[in-house]
Amino acid sequence: MRIKRRTCRTLGPLAVALLAVLTLAVPPGAAVAADWSATELKLTYGELDRPFGADPSTSNVWTTTFQHASGWRFGDNFFFIDVINGDEPGYNDFDMYGELYCNLSLGKITGRDLSFGPVKDIGIIPLALNFGADANVFKYLPGIRVDWNVPGFAFFKTLFTAYIDRNEGVNKGGAPKQDDSYMIDFAWKYPFTIAGARFSVEGHAEYIGSREDELGNDVSWWVLAQPEFRFDLGNTLYGKPDQLFVGAKWQLWLNKLGDEDTDENTVLALLVWRL
């Protein structure tokens, strides 16, 4: 679980991860050679269970997310950074968390159509990071990605990665170091139109295997699903699609943060501005 807020020295792993985002997420020359890119600023609000690992058991939380995805000559990249603010005075009420995934497409690298059956492409993930500021969380997730041809979906992807712990541990004032594990993640986007109004259901669902921390405690497997229902408000209001969205985000987290006693099932208000 996350521990109480400390001084800015807890940003060490986050600083390393942010540097990786800046230097590796977008390859040299990508601004010119990018196949496509999408950058979003998201705002969610709602009640979360133990969002900072401290009492009270629930807190109303504002989360501001900067999110970017882009394609380039040999693959694509995705990263996001969450800035999390609670509204319970007297408790740890601020944190930052982010993830980065760099994928190398075997189809793009070889210049060949590698699709077969329902498989659209296969990719190698040489660099993937999960990082949190407050608890000094730092994970490496190298692996592979399978892109699927699913009718009606803008994309449907499955990631199979390692979940390698590089936390600094309790001796450095962070969360307990954990054994390594693995992750399976599904990501998708399904756009649709009703009476001229544009909608989408998009998000991801992950499974991370159980492990043990350095204190001998069992850290349970967890399932985290975060589908978003989006309504393209900008298209309806002023005729500009893919710019301003409103909707809801459903967060289902079984064994939240590896705690068998915490299951979260909540709906958050969602506002998205695509830059």
Has residue 56 got a pLDDT over 60? Answer: no
Q: What share of the chain is helix, strand, coil (3-state, %, to 5)?
A: 15, 55, 30
Has residue 27 got a pLDDT over 60? Answer: no
Please indicate, yes or no, if residue 50 is contained in any of the structural domains. Answer: yes
Q: What does the pLDDT look like over 244-271, one tens digit per residue? A: 999 999 999 999 999 998 999 999 999 9
Q: Could you list the residue range(s) of the whole structural domain that residue 104 is in?
A: 8-274
Note whether 64 and 41 are within 8 A (CB).
yes
Please indicate, yes or no, if residue 3 is contained in any of the structural domains. Answer: no
Please indicate, yes or no, if residue 212 is contained in any of the structural domains. Answer: yes
Please tell me the total count of domains within the chain.
1
Please indicate, yes or no, if residue 94 is contained in any of the structural domains. Answer: yes
Please indicate, yes or no, if residue 1 is contained in any of the structural domains. Answer: no
Q: What does the pLDDT look like over 190-248, one tens digit per residue? A: 999 999 999 999 999 999 999 999 999 999 999 999 999 999 999 999 999 999 999 99
pTM over cut 0.85: yes
Find the CATH number of the domain harbouring 38.
2.40.230.20
